[in-house]
Amino acid sequence: MGSIGLLLVCKVLPYLEQELDYHYTLFRMSDYPQMAQLLSHHAASIRAVVCNTRAGADAKLIEALPNLEIVLNYGVGVDGVDLNKCREKGIRVTNTPDVLTDSVADLAIGLILTLLRRICECDRYVRSGQWKKGEYKLTSKFSGKTVGIVGLGRIGLAIAKRAEGFNCPICYYSRTEKPESKYKYYPSVVELASNCDILVVACSLTEETYHIINRKVIDALGPSGFLINIGRGKHVDEAELVSALVEGRLGGAGLDVFENEPHVPQELFGLENVVLLPHVGPGTVETRIAMADLVLGNLEAHFHGKPLLTPICLTSDVV
């Protein structure tokens, strides 16, 4: 399949890049400072694109590749891919679900524990020698706290399962109630926030979920509540979150994602009740290898006429 042109627009695991280079004619976006130069020489030969949320496949790129057949998203969220344009042109789209569920759910629990028990601050307390001057202040326990989850999909369910191990009551919000779920359902995010101690954002990013965490939700969570975001930065109205934390209207926040990554609001850096991570939810060796294998498996399936392993449904009612 070496004659098949493939465009890599994002940074991936070296293992995946090596496999793509071995099996396909690989064009790296990073090798071309000017997109026009790449397109003028190779656009017609590119039949597949590998991308992610940060470096995606927008309408302009898709239109510029006349023989594009498939877009492979190295991640779960496909908000970096213009699905409408793909549907219009009959281009297939895949992602890498399931394999990163455990890593992201693990991190969500880690964020909760780190935030409530002030683990980062405790570490600094010991390193700076302050422990010799006195005991560290009391913190808040996780066990028994009510956890509300926005989005009860694969990752949301995995977080709920882990939180149950801490004897936490679980409740959730989703577009529709899930009859098979044993957890309490609330028909709005404001109601969910009003009835939980810890609110975890774990839904997909869509037009409906953009800024789903707004001032009303934050105020409903209140000065003793905690917000955890392992979804997408744009789920949260970041300006409202910052003001709530600065003004003491929210108890704390654990954030792995931000609205304008890698830029983080400067006001958050001086706050003790905030834990900030550089979007590392799925960032484990095991997960990245599994994601890479899914990309390779989908490519092989497509170019051998077999069913895709993890296709994205492009019917209008889904998108």
Question: pLDDT at position 318, please?
Answer: 34
Q: Does residue 165 share a domain with residue 89? A: no
Q: Does residue 185 share a domain with residue 251? A: yes
Contact yes or no for 235/79 (Cβ under 8 A): no
Three-class SS of residue 201? strand
Residue 145 within any structural domain of the chain? yes
Whether the predicted pLDDT of 319 surpasses 50? no
Distance (Å, whole) CA 284 – CA 193: 31
Residue 43 within any structural domain of the chain? yes
Residue 309 within any structural domain of the chain? no
- From the list 63, 88, 261, 272, the catalytic residue is 261
Contact yes or no for 187/173 (Cβ under 8 A): yes
Distance (Å, whole) CA 233 – CA 120: 22
Question: pLDDT at position 2, please?
Answer: 61
| 232 a catalytic residue | yes
Q: Does residue 291 share a domain with residue 237? A: no
Question: pLDDT at position 314, please?
Answer: 85
- Which pTM does this prediction carry? 0.92
Residue 245 C-beta-side C-alpha neighbours within 13 Å: 23
Percent of the chain with pLDDT over 90: 94
Q: Does residue 256 share a domain with residue 112? A: yes
Question: pLDDT at position 307, please?
Answer: 97
The continuous run of DSSP H or E covering 40 comes out as helix 35-42
Residue 186 within any structural domain of the chain? yes
Give the pLDDT band (50/70/90) at residue 92: very high
Question: pLDDT at position 1, please?
Answer: 64
Question: pLDDT at position 315, please?
Answer: 67
The total number of structural domains in the chain stands at 2
**What's the Cα-to-Cα distance from 146 to each of 38, 167, 185, 186, rounded to whole Å?**
52, 9, 13, 13
| 279 a catalytic residue | yes
Residue 237 C-beta-side C-alpha neighbours within 13 Å: 13
Give the pLDDT band (50/70/90) at residue 53: confident
Report the CATH number at residue 120.
3.40.50.720
User: What is the per-residue pLDDT across 226-268, written as a single tens digit (0 to 9) for each?
Assistant: 999 999 999 999 999 999 999 999 999 999 999 999 999 999 9
Residue 109 within any structural domain of the chain? yes
- From the list 232, 235, 288, 302, the catalytic residue is 232
Residue 193 within any structural domain of the chain? yes
Distance (Å, whole) CA 144 – CA 164: 9
Q: Does residue 272 share a domain with residue 294? A: no
Distance (Å, whole) CA 52 – CA 307: 22
Find where tokens 């095991």 sit. 286
Query: In the numeric block, which tokens belong to residue 7?
Result: 């465009």
Q: Does residue 114 share a domain with residue 260? A: yes
**What's the Cα-to-Cα distance from 234 to each of 116, 189, 194, 294, rounded to whole Å?**
24, 16, 22, 26
| 23 a catalytic residue | no
Whether the predicted pLDDT of 74 surpasses 90? yes
Q: Does residue 243 share a domain with residue 150? A: yes
Residue 124 within any structural domain of the chain? yes
Q: Does residue 260 share a domain with residue 243? A: yes
Question: pLDDT at position 120, please?
Answer: 97
Q: Does residue 252 share a domain with residue 181? A: yes
Q: Does residue 32 share a domain with residue 135? A: no
For 169-182, give one letter per residue: b (16+ CB within 10 A) or e.
Answer: bbbbbbeeeeeeee
Whether the predicted pLDDT of 317 surpasses 70? no
Range of the domain at 17: 5-97+286-303
Torsion angle in degrees (nearest 10) through CA of 130, 131, 133, 138: 100
- From the list 23, 117, 154, 279, the catalytic residue is 279
Q: Does residue 231 share a domain with residue 127? A: yes
Give the pLDDT band (50/70/90) at residue 35: confident
Query: In the numeric block, which tokens belong to residue 106?
Result: 């693990």
